[in-house]
Amino acid sequence: MQTGTIGILNTMKIPHKIFGIALLVFTLMGLSILFSTKKLYQVSEEVTALAEVFIPLSKEIAEIDLQIAQQELHVERLEKHLIVTKLNDEELHKLAGEIIPEHLQTGSESLTEKQARLEAENVELKRIIVREEEDFDVRELNVDAAIKNAEDIVEKAVDRAVTIEEVKSLLKLLPQLQSINQQHSSLHAQKTLLIRALKQNRPILFELEKLIEEEEDKLTESMTVAWEGISSFTESAAKKAVEHERQALTVNIVLAAVSGVLALLLSSLVILRILQPLRRLMDCTRKIESGDLSGEIEIKTHDEISDLTRSFNKMVHELRKTEEIKGKFGQYVDPRVVSRLISDPGLNLADGEKKVVSVFFADFANFTGIS
């Protein structure tokens, strides 16, 4: 891989190398941004699920629980008020059969005053009983509305669910809500019978009380299961949001580290590939300064340094050729001819003129000693 990378770098120009490193870093940064955006979107989805599904659903379940508890209070108050009304009626019936002269009546309250007080209490109690019955029925409607709202929330959540697991988990809530609705309707009917029996002064059957207790236990169990399911979904959504956030942070750190390391390694490699030819050029330049024209630099890249090296090699070749001309002709040919050959390397000696000349060779006696 390293050899392949070096080979690619050797074929690239220096600006392209720098641009490639910058492009690689920006690409990794872009991948980091894309991954972070995806994870943040998933976090947003989980938070949205909490805000739009599980929190409203928990609110509706809590509303159902509250309304059922309120209904139980209404039944208890109705039972108490009906018992008091029954006792007052018995007392009034008893007082109606008694005739006691006023001078024989004892206590701070006369018979007439007591009858008036009991009758007033019964009127007020009957008004309270009617209101309690109305509130009892209103609570029933509120429970039905809360269950319907909860079912609507679950159905909307199923429509916007992304994975099959989410759909399956949400669909488990619908049977639970339907079970709560059925059990509450049955319990409401049983309590209505209980209230009717109390109003008609009929003895309360043991079977009815037992049936009400059983329905209450079933409803409590169904409510517990629903609460556990919603709590599980809420906890799962919160954990997923935290996990997505952690993954985004981890990937950002890893990609940032990888980007930094790759940028450092590639920059070092590019600088090394630039400095090595430059050092060879400097070494050859020093040799030329000392008169050594035998050196020639090997070209290994295709960038600006290779162009400079190629020009340098050409210059050395020309200098070597010049020195060769000087060495061959300098001792025998007129310096003007040598200078012309050097200044005009393209001069073709074969195109010269052919002339007949006379050459006089003379030797002086004892010339060596004179020179």
Do 149 and 8 fall into the same domain? yes
**Would you say residue 102 has pLDDT above 60?**
no
Residue 336 domain flag: yes
What span, in angstroms and rounded, lies between the C-alpha atoms of 42 and 67? 36
Do 37 and 113 fall into the same domain? yes
User: Residue 291: phi, psi to the nearest 5?
Assistant: 100, 5
pLDDT in the model for residue 337: 64
What span, in angstroms and rounded, lies between the C-alpha atoms of 195 and 136? 10
CB neighbour list of residue 20: distance below 8 Å, 6 or more residues apart? 12, 266
Q: Which of 264, 283, 311 is the last residue of a domain?
A: 264
Do 334 and 231 fall into the same domain? no
Residue 103: pLDDT band (50, 70, 90) is very low
Q: What is the rounded average pLDDT of the residues 65-79?
A: 89
Residue 161 domain flag: yes
Structure tokens at 226: 């629903």
Q: What is the rounded average pLDDT of the residues 355-368?
A: 68
Q: Which of 215, 240, 264 is the last residue of a domain?
A: 264
Could you give the percent of the chain with pLDDT greater than 90? 5
**Would you say residue 107 has pLDDT above 60?**
no
User: Where is pLDDT greater, at 328 or 7?
Assistant: 328
Residue 357 domain flag: no
Predicted confidence (pLDDT) per residue in 211-252, tens digit: 888 888 888 888 888 888 888 878 877 888 888 888 888 888
Do 224 and 303 fall into the same domain? no
Residue 1: pLDDT band (50, 70, 90) is very low
CB atoms closer than 10 angstroms to residue 240: 16
Structure tokens at 279: 């050092």
**Would you say residue 346 has pLDDT above 70?**
no
Residue 104: pLDDT band (50, 70, 90) is very low
**Would you say residue 358 has pLDDT above 70?**
yes
Residue 277 domain flag: no
Residue 363: pLDDT band (50, 70, 90) is low
User: Where is pLDDT greater, at 210 or 343?
Assistant: 210
Residue 168 domain flag: yes
Predicted confidence (pLDDT) per residue in 20-67, tens digit: 777 877 887 888 888 888 888 777 877 777 777 788 888 888 898 899
Determine contact, residues 145/172, Cβ cutoff 8 Å: no
Determine contact, residues 258/28, Cβ cutoff 8 Å: yes
**Would you say residue 127 has pLDDT above 90?**
yes
Do 73 and 31 fall into the same domain? yes
Residue 269 domain flag: no
Do 172 and 310 fall into the same domain? no
Residue 11: pLDDT band (50, 70, 90) is low
CB atoms closer than 10 angstroms to residue 316: 20
Do 224 and 318 fall into the same domain? no
Residue 321 domain flag: yes
Do 165 and 68 fall into the same domain? yes
Do 252 and 341 fall into the same domain? no
Q: Which domain holds residue 173?
A: 2-100+107-264
Furthest-apart CA atoms within the chain: distance in Å? 197
Do 256 and 172 fall into the same domain? yes
Do 115 and 243 fall into the same domain? yes
Could you give the percent of the chain with pLDDT greater than 70? 80
What span, in angstroms and rounded, lies between the C-alpha atoms of 61 and 49? 17
CB neighbour list of residue 318: distance below 8 Å, 6 or more residues apart? 345
Angle between helices 206-289 and 14-49 (to 10 degrees): 170
Do 257 and 309 fall into the same domain? no
Q: Average pLDDT over the chain, rounded to whole? A: 78
Q: What is the rounded average pLDDT of the residues 134-156?
A: 90
Residue 341: pLDDT band (50, 70, 90) is low
Instruction: Find the Cα–Cα–Cα–Cα dihedral 309, 310, 315, 318, rounded to 10°.
Output: 150
Distances (CA, A) of 325 to 148, 284, 291, 346: 108, 22, 16, 13
Which contacts qualify for 299-303: CB closer than 8 Å, 24 or more apart? Answer: 300/10, 301/9, 301/10, 301/11, 301/273, 301/277, 302/10, 302/11, 302/12, 302/13, 303/10, 303/12, 303/13, 303/14, 303/17
State how many domains the chain has: 2
Determine contact, residues 125/81, Cβ cutoff 8 Å: yes
Residue 355 domain flag: no
Count Cβ atoms within 10 A of the Cβ of residue 120 and give its class: 0-12 exposed, 13-18 middle, 19 or more buried: exposed
Q: What is the rounded average pLDDT of the residues 77-103?
A: 77
**Would you say residue 292 has pLDDT above 60?**
yes
Distances (CA, A) of 81 to 22, 86, 191: 85, 9, 16
Nearest by Cα to 74 from 138, 128, 125, 135: 135
| pTM score, whole prediction | 0.57
Predicted confidence (pLDDT) per residue in 172-194, tens digit: 888 888 888 888 888 888 888 88
